[in-house]
């Protein structure tokens, strides 16, 4: 019995170096397969859904190609998400004005903007006010009434083209006019609004001016 046991033990001891060599060979094969091949792009890193930085009481200033200040975005907090390369802004305020004094001002509980702040998407108790150009402006249409205000839960602003739009219900007020629509596209440069869906309310054109909007029933 003892002789058989010692024979088994000696056989196991003899197999240990062979197993070690086999394990080392397998590990080397795994390293070779895992290493990127020549000319082969490395595997992309998995993007994180968490913000990579956060700023408190931050401000972003956007300039046009001529170096003139085009818009200012303020927020109590700004978070950048690398996965979508977007900024999420709490208690957002936007102020924009062109050289003729025609301006846009917007406030919302939350805003989202692209990295270059070329557009912003506002959500939650959104109020956007479009002011007409200053009297005697060198360019642009003549003022057609007072400021136009848009109120809703979701509005989008293209800062470059100065277009306010929404696919959600919106209330539009100007002077004594009050209009509700299911969607809107407003061009701040021409001061023309295209209304979509069910449109109701009343509009009073300013004396001596043409209406600043048109509806699509």
- The CATH number covering residue 68 comes to 2.60.450.10
Q: What is the pLDDT of residue 21?
A: 45
- 96 and 6 in a single domain? The answer is no
Cα angle vertex 107, ends 80, 101, to 5°? 110
Q: How far is CA 7 from CA 3, 12, 18, in A?
A: 6, 9, 18
Write out the two tokens for 51: 């913000």
Give pLDDT tens digits for 124-183: 999 999 998 766 555 444 456 789 999 999 999 998 888 999 999 999 999 989 999 999
Residue 11 — pLDDT band, cuts 50, 70, 90? low
Asked whether residue 46 is assigned to any structural domain, the reply reads: no
Asked whether residue 47 is assigned to any structural domain, the reply reads: no
Residue 102 — pLDDT band, cuts 50, 70, 90? confident
3-state SS, residue 88: strand
- H or E stretch at 11: helix 2-34
Give pLDDT tens digits for 176-203: 899 999 999 999 888 899 999 999 998 7
Residues 167, 147: Cα–Cα separation, whole Å: 22
- 187 and 110 in a single domain? The answer is yes
CA end-to-end distance (rounded Å), the chain: 101
Domain that holds residue 21: 1-36
- 119 and 196 in a single domain? The answer is yes
Q: What is the pLDDT of residue 7?
A: 54
Q: Helix count (H) and strand count (E) of the chain?
A: 1, 13
Look at 31 and 99; give whichever has higher pLDDT: 99
Asked whether residue 142 is assigned to any structural domain, the reply reads: yes
SS3 of the chain: helix, strand, coil, percent, to 5: 15, 45, 40
Look at 70 and 31; give whichever has higher pLDDT: 70
- 70 and 141 in a single domain? The answer is yes
How many domains does the chain contain in total?
Answer: 2
150: β partners: 128, 172
Asked whether residue 96 is assigned to any structural domain, the reply reads: yes
Asked whether residue 41 is assigned to any structural domain, the reply reads: no
Give the count of alpha carbons within 13 A of 86, CB side only: 11
Q: What is the mean pLDDT of residues 83-106?
A: 87
Q: What is the pLDDT of residue 201?
A: 92
- 6 and 61 in a single domain? The answer is no
Is the predicted pLDDT of residue 115 greater than 70, yes or no? yes
Asked whether residue 43 is assigned to any structural domain, the reply reads: no
- Listed range (12-26, 51-65, 170-184, 185-199) with the worst mean pLDDT: 12-26
Asked whether residue 195 is assigned to any structural domain, the reply reads: yes
Asked whether residue 6 is assigned to any structural domain, the reply reads: yes
- 64 and 15 in a single domain? The answer is no
């Amino acid at each position: 019995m003892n002789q058989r046991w010692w024979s088994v033990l000696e056989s196991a001891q003899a197999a240990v170096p062979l197993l070690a060599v086999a394990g080392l060979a397998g590990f080397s094969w795994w390293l070779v397969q895992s290493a990127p091949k020549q000319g082969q792009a490395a595997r992309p890193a998995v993007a994180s859904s968490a913000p990579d930085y956060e700023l408190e009481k931050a401000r972003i200033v956007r300039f046009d190609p001529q170096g003139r200040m085009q818009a200012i975005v303020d927020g109590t907090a700004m978070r950048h998400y690398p996965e979508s390369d977007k900024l999420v802004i709490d208690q957002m305020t936007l102020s924009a004005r062109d050289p003729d004094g025609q301006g846009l001002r917007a406030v919302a509980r939350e805003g989202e903007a692209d990295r270059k702040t070329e557009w912003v998407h506002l959500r939650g108790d959104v109020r956007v006010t479009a002011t007409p150009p200053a009297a005697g402006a060198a360019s642009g249409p003549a003022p057609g009434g007072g400021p136009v205000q848009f109120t809703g839960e979701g509005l989008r602003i293209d800062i470059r083209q100065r277009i306010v739009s929404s696919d959600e219900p919106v209330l539009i007020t100007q002077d004594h006019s009050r209009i509700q629509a299911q969607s809107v596209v407003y061009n701040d440069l021409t001061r023309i609004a295209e209304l979509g869906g069910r449109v109701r309310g009343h509009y009073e054109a300013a004396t001596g001016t043409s209406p600043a909007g048109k509806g699509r029933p």
